[in-house]
């Protein structure tokens, strides 16, 4: 097993270029010397170029928040995996609940994006999770199994990180308890193990990094990280302030 703590900041549609530069400078300065954790920042598209210059040669990785399922052509407004690589990205977030909810992205679309992104050399942070009604109706495992089965079956899992984000906890201030998080993370690892077996893949599921996302704070990350199958966090609002993001990183053991 070679899993290391992985802390990713999803800035969403926040920060103008100058603000993004100031934020990432604070993060880069604050994580100098940290060699036992993987750190990722995912600014909006408009800030990727300038942020890339600052993180280059540091221990902070650069990711994007989305990409197209096409790599070039007449697709107005889209951004391709090759364009992200050209800007210095090594990761891309796919399948976030906001993309599913607001922009109608299906598992099939996400799979197409993931296949292309991985084929071009990007690693993906693939988001799964249930809405509150689904949890109340005891559908959590059914929903997540479908999200995993329909997206991961034909992917190189060595290039995949999974983020469990209960939709009811994103931006609400609510956080799943460590027990709730571990229950789902353990289920994810077992489900991926079955996908590996069914597809005859050569992949050790114990190496799969699974993050928790959903109102993660410096006060909650320690308890979450004590869970056997929780390997880090995909952090939203708390990643927009360098001090809080650094506190999360430092508290993630």
> In angstroms, what CA-CA distances link 187 with 8, 35, 144, 154?
22, 29, 9, 20
Q: Is 39 helix (H, G, I), strand (E, B) or coil?
A: strand
Q: Are 226 and 178 in contact (CB under 8 A)?
A: yes
Q: Find, among 99, 118, 11, the residue nearest to 62 by Cα.
A: 11
- Told to judge if 185 belongs to the known catalytic residues of this protein, a careful annotator would answer no
- Long-range Cβ contact pairs of 76-79 (< 8 A, separation 24 or more): 79/45
Strands (E), 79-231: 91-94, 123-128, 160-164, 210-213
Active site residue 165: yes
**Which residue in 98, 130, 165, 182 is the catalytic one?**
165
Give the residue numbers annotated as catalytic, written as ranges. Answer: 96, 165
């Amino acid at each position: 097993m070679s899993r290391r703590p992985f802390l990713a900041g999803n800035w969403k549609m926040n920060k103008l270029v100058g603000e993004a530069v100031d934020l990432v400078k604070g993060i880069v300065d604050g994580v100098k010397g940290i060699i036992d954790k993987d750190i990722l920042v995912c600014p909006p598209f408009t800030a990727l170029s300038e942020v890339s210059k600052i993180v280059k040669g540091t221990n902070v990785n650069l990711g994007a928040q989305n990409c197209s399922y096409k790599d070039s052509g007449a697709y107005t407004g889209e951004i391709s995996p090759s364009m992200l690589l050209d800007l210095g990205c090594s990761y891309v977030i796919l399948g976030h609940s906001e993309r599913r909810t607001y922009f109608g992205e299906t598992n099939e679309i996400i799979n197409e994006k993931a296949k292309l992104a991985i084929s071009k050399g990007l690693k993906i942070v693939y988001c799964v999770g249930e809405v509150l009604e689904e949890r109340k109706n005891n559908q959590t495992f059914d929903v997540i199994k479908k999200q995993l089965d329909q997206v991961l079956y034909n992917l190189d899992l060595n290039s995949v990180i999974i983020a469990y984000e209960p939709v009811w906890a994103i931006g609400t201030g609510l956080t799943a308890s460590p027990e709730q998080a571990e229950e789902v993370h353990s289920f994810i690892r077992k489900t991926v193990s079955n996908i590996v077996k069914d597809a005859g893949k050569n992949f050790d599921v114990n190496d799969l990094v699974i993050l928790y996302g959903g109102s993660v704070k410096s006060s909650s990350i320690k308890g979450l990280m004590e869970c056997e199958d929780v390997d880090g966090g995909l952090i939203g609002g708390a990643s927009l302030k360098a001090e809080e993001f650094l506190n999360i990183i430092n508290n993630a053991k």
